[in-house]
Amino acid sequence: MIKQTAGRNGLGDLAPKFAELNDDVLFGEVWSREDKLSLRDRSVITVVALISKGITDSSLRYHIQNARNHGVTKTEMVEIITHIAFYVGWPNAWAVFPMVREAYADEATDAPSDSLFGLGEPNDAFSQYFTGKSYLKPLNTKGVGAYNVTFEPGCRNNWHIHHAGGQVLLCTDGEGWYQEWNEQARKLHPGDVVYIAPEVKHWHGASKDEWFTHIALEIPAPGASNEWLEPVDDEQYGRL
């Protein structure tokens, strides 16, 4: 059950019954019905309801922050407001964007917070072999190595070769690219699977405008190793 104290904190002295209804009924009984509708969805519809009524005060500020806390990314929030602007009124949308900027101000990059296996940590160990920022979450290191890799928009790894073993990519989020040397790049979407044979020179990464996440399975083989080569040319990547 959700613990809410905003009502009692703000109005407990003036309107104790209202405060109780706010904290115990609205939040304690309605918001808490997460088996019926997720907090993420409740956050979104609440933000939309407030904007559509032109309520752009501290309660909207709270609910935008709440939406972020429940996994709504900055990109999604901007898209929500862009979409509803046509229905609720253009000036309402204008009024809200500064609040969105403020609510997400400490977020350097709008990393997806709702990816299936989680974002993991900044991929510092391999950053020398990447253009742009990536995140790594080891999922399994026994038998078959399985690594969740998330690329920010524009991020990709250098050309590289998996010696002996090869690699399988299971695409789970966003939009990305895979390219083998002297071949056309292949666009990747969630659900796509890429088999990378050993000794094939290739790279993988995000598209210019979208985040991308895949699980990389390292195919075990005696003497398996990775050889990192030159970065993917900016101009070549830019033409994709």
Instruction: Name the closest residue to Mn ion (Cβ).
Output: 167
Among the listed residues 22, 95, 98, the one whose alpha carbon sits nearest the alpha carbon of residue 54: 95
Question: Smaller CB distance to Mn ion: residue 199 or 233?
Answer: 199
Residue 168 burial (C-beta neighbours within 10 Å; 0-12, 13-18, 19+): middle
Assess 179 for contact with Mn ion (CB under 5 A). Answer: no
Assess 66 for contact with Mn ion (CB under 5 A). Answer: no
Assess 134 for contact with Mn ion (CB under 5 A). Answer: no
Assess 148 for contact with Mn ion (CB under 5 A). Answer: no
Assess 123 for contact with Mn ion (CB under 5 A). Answer: no
CB of 238 to Mn ion, least distance (A): 21
Question: Smaller CB distance to Mn ion: residue 27 or 147?
Answer: 147
Assess 167 for contact with Mn ion (CB under 5 A). Answer: yes
CB of 235 to Mn ion, least distance (A): 22
CB of 190 to Mn ion, least distance (A): 18
Binding range to Mn ion, per CB under 5 A, among 15-23, 79-87, 99-107, 164-172: 164-172
